[in-house]
Amino acid sequence: MVSHDQLEQDEKETGRTEAFSDGVFAIAITLLVLELKVPSREVALAKGGLQQALLGQWAMYLAFLTSFATVLVMWVNHHALFTHIRRSRMPFLYLNGLLLFFVTLIPFPTAILAGYIGSGEEPLAVKIYAAICVAICVAFNLLWHYASHGGRLLDRRADMDQVRAITRQYYFGPPLYAVAFVLAFSHAIASLVLCILLALFFAFTGWVRKDHQAASLHRN
C-alpha cells in the first residue's frame, strides 16, 4: 500500500521535474532567436541595402522556423506524456535529462544549418540536424517505456488504451527520422522538408489523440 502522504510527495516530485523541463524547453526555444543575426551597416551597404541583406538570410529564417516548430511539438508531446505520469524515480530523472540534453543541443545544428545552406555543405548540416532528431525520438521512447512499463510511474487512473496508443505512435519516430537522416546523403533539402513534415505529423497525431480523449470524456 502507498500512503496519501506519498501520493502528495509524488505529485510534488513530478511537478518539479515538469517545472525544470519547462524551463529548459522555454529557454531552448527562446535562445533560438539569438541565431538571428542583424547584418551590420557595412554588410547592408555591400549588398545594396538593408532589405537585400535581410532577404539574403533566408536560410537563417528557415532554420529558425524549423527549430522553433520542432521544439514546440516536443514540448507539447512532453506535456502530453506527463499528464499520464504521477510518480518519479531516479532513472526517470536521468532519462528525462537525456531527452533535455538533446533538446538543449538544438540551437547548435540550427546554427550549422543557418550558416551552411547554400554552401555546398548542406548534406552534412542536414545529416547532423536529422541525427539529433533521431536521438530525441529515441530518448522519448526510453523515457516513456521506463515510465509506462507495467504502469510503473503512471497515474493509477490512466486509460490503458491511450497509453498503448502513445507507445505505438512513439515507435514511428526513430525510423521515420532515420529515413530523413539517410535521405540527407543524397537530397539535403528534401530531408529538411521531411523533418518539418514529421514535426507536423507528430503535432497532428497528438491533436487527434487529445480530441479523442475529450470525446471519450463527454461520453462519460
Residues of this chain, 121-180, that bind its own copies according to CB under 8 A: 121, 124-125, 128, 157
Residues 59-98: x where in contact with its own copies by CB under 8 A, - otherwise, as a string:
---------x---x--xx--x--xx-----xxx-xx--x-
Per CB under 8 A, contacts with its own copies among 14-43 are 16-20, 22-34, 36, 38, 40-41
185 CB neighbour count, 10 Å cutoff: 12
Taking the CA of residue 199 as centre, how many other CA atoms within 13 Å lie in the half-sphere pointing to its CB?
A: 19
Q: How far is the CB of 193 from its own copies (least distance, A)?
A: 19
216 is a contact residue toward its own copies (CB under 8 A): no
Cα–Cα distance measured from residue 21 to residue 124, given in angstroms and rounded to the nearest whole number: 30
Owner of C-alpha cell 522519448: 140
Contact at 8 Å (CB) between 188 and 129?
A: no
Residue of 46, 48, 58, 119 that binds its own copies (CB under 8 A): 119
Q: How far is the CB of 192 from its own copies (least distance, A)?
A: 16
207 is a contact residue toward its own copies (CB under 8 A): yes
Contact at 8 Å (CB) between 84 and 163?
A: yes
Using CB atoms within 10 Å of the CB of residue 207, give its burial: 0 to 12 exposed, 13 to 18 middle, 19+ buried: exposed
Using CB atoms within 10 Å of the CB of residue 8, give its burial: 0 to 12 exposed, 13 to 18 middle, 19+ buried: exposed
Q: How far is the CB of 171 from its own copies (least distance, A)?
A: 21
Q: How far is the CB of 22 from its own copies (least distance, A)?
A: 5
13 is a contact residue toward its own copies (CB under 8 A): yes
Q: How far is the CB of 164 from its own copies (least distance, A)?
A: 19
Indicate the helix (H) or strand (E) that contains 139: helix 122-148
215 is a contact residue toward its own copies (CB under 8 A): no
Cα–Cα distance measured from residue 103 to residue 93, given in angstroms and rounded to the nearest whole number: 15
2 is a contact residue toward its own copies (CB under 8 A): yes
Helix residue spans in 149-187 (DSSP H): 160-183
Q: How many residues bind its own copies (CB under 8 A)?
A: 74
- For its own copies, which is the closer residue by CB, 85 or 138? 85
- For its own copies, which is the closer residue by CB, 65 or 175? 65
